[in-house]
Structure 1
Amino acid sequence: MVRWQRGLWLFFLPSFGLLAVVLLWPLGYAIYLSFFDYYLGSDARTFIGLGNYADLLSETRLWRSMWTTMLIAFGSVGLEFVVGFALALALYRLHRSAKVFSVLLFLPHIVTPVVAALFLKWMLASNWGFIDATLLTFNIEPQDWLGSPFWAKVSVILADAWVFTPLIMMVLYAALQGLDTSLIEAAQIDGASNWRILRHVIIPSLIPAIIFTISVRLMDVFRFFDIIYVLTGGGPGTATETITMYTYQLGFRMLEVGKASALGVITLVLVAALLLAINRTLNKTYRGGDR
Structure 2
Amino acid sequence: MRWQRGLWLFLVPSFGLMTLVLLWPLGYAAYLSTFDYHLGSPGMHFVGLANYAQLLSEARFWQSLWTTIGIALGSVAVEFTSGFALALALYRLTFSVRAFMILLFLPHIITPVVATLFLKWILTSNWGLIDATLLTFNVNPPDWLGNPIWARICVVLADAWIFTPFVMLVLYAALQTLDQAQIEAAKIDGAGGWRIVRHIVLPSLVPVIVFTVSVRLMDVFRFFDTIYVLTGGGPGTATETITMYTYQLGFQLLQVGKASALGIITLVIVAAIIAAFSGILQRGYGRSS
Within 5 A, what are the aligned runs for 1:1-291?
1-2=1-2, 4-287=3-286, 289=287
2:224 alignment partner AA? F
1:25 alignment partner AA? W
Do the aligned partners of residues 81 and 115 (structure 1) sit closer, same or farther apart at CA in structure 2, a change above 3 Å counting?
same
Cα drift, residue 172 of structure 1: 0.3
Measure, in 1, the Cα distance between the counterparts of 2:288 and 2:238: 38
SS of 1:228's equivalent in the other structure is: helix
SS of 1:8's equivalent in the other structure is: helix
Measure, in 2, the Cα distance between the counterparts of 1:144 and 1:40: 38
Report the RMSD for the aligned CA atoms in angstroms.
Answer: 1.1
Equivalent residues of 2:117, 2:229 under 8 A apart: yes
Measure, in 2, the Cα distance between the counterparts of 1:28 and 1:43: 22
Structure 2: runs of 5 or more not aligned: none
Deviations 1:179-237 (A, max 9, x none): 11111111111111211111101100111111111000000000000000000000011
Measure, in 2, the Cα distance between the counterparts of 1:16 and 1:220: 23
2:5 alignment partner AA? R
Measure, in 2, the Cα distance between the counterparts of 1:197 and 1:247: 45
Do the aligned partners of residues 20 and 212 (structure 1) sit closer, same or farther apart at CA in structure 2, a change above 3 Å counting?
same
Deviations 1:20-46 (A, max 9, x none): 010000000000000000001112111
Measure, in 1, the Cα distance between the counterparts of 2:288 and 2:244: 35
State TM-score, norm by structure 2.
0.98
Equivalent residues of 1:280, 1:290 under 8 A apart: no
Runs of 4 or more consecutive aligned structure 1 residues displaced over 4 Å after TM superposition? none
Deviations 1:52-88 (A, max 9, x none): 0000000000000000000000001000000000000
SS of 2:45's equivalent in the other structure is: strand
Deviations 1:252-278 (A, max 9, x none): 111100000000000000000100011
Measure, in 2, the Cα distance between the counterparts of 1:34 and 1:43: 17
Measure, in 2, the Cα distance between the counterparts of 1:86 and 1:226: 27
Measure, in 2, the Cα distance between the counterparts of 1:87 and 1:133: 30
Number of aligned residue pairs: 289
Measure, in 2, the Cα distance between the counterparts of 1:169 and 1:21: 33
Counting aligned pairs with the same residue, the percent is: 70
State TM-score, norm by structure 1.
0.98
Measure, in 1, the Cα distance between the counterparts of 2:141 and 2:284: 42
Structure 1: runs of 5 or more not aligned: none
Measure, in 2, the Cα distance between the counterparts of 1:143 and 1:154: 12
Equivalent residues of 1:284, 1:290 under 8 A apart: no
Equivalent residues of 1:124, 1:132 under 8 A apart: yes
Measure, in 2, the Cα distance between the counterparts of 1:140 and 1:76: 28
Equivalent residues of 1:36, 1:258 under 8 A apart: yes
Measure, in 1, the Cα distance between the counterparts of 2:107 and 2:199: 32
Equivalent residues of 2:204, 2:288 under 8 A apart: no
Equivalent residues of 2:207, 2:288 under 8 A apart: no
SS of 1:270's equivalent in the other structure is: helix
Measure, in 1, the Cα distance between the counterparts of 2:137 and 2:55: 48
Equivalent residues of 2:67, 2:241 under 8 A apart: yes
Equivalent residues of 1:39, 1:257 under 8 A apart: yes
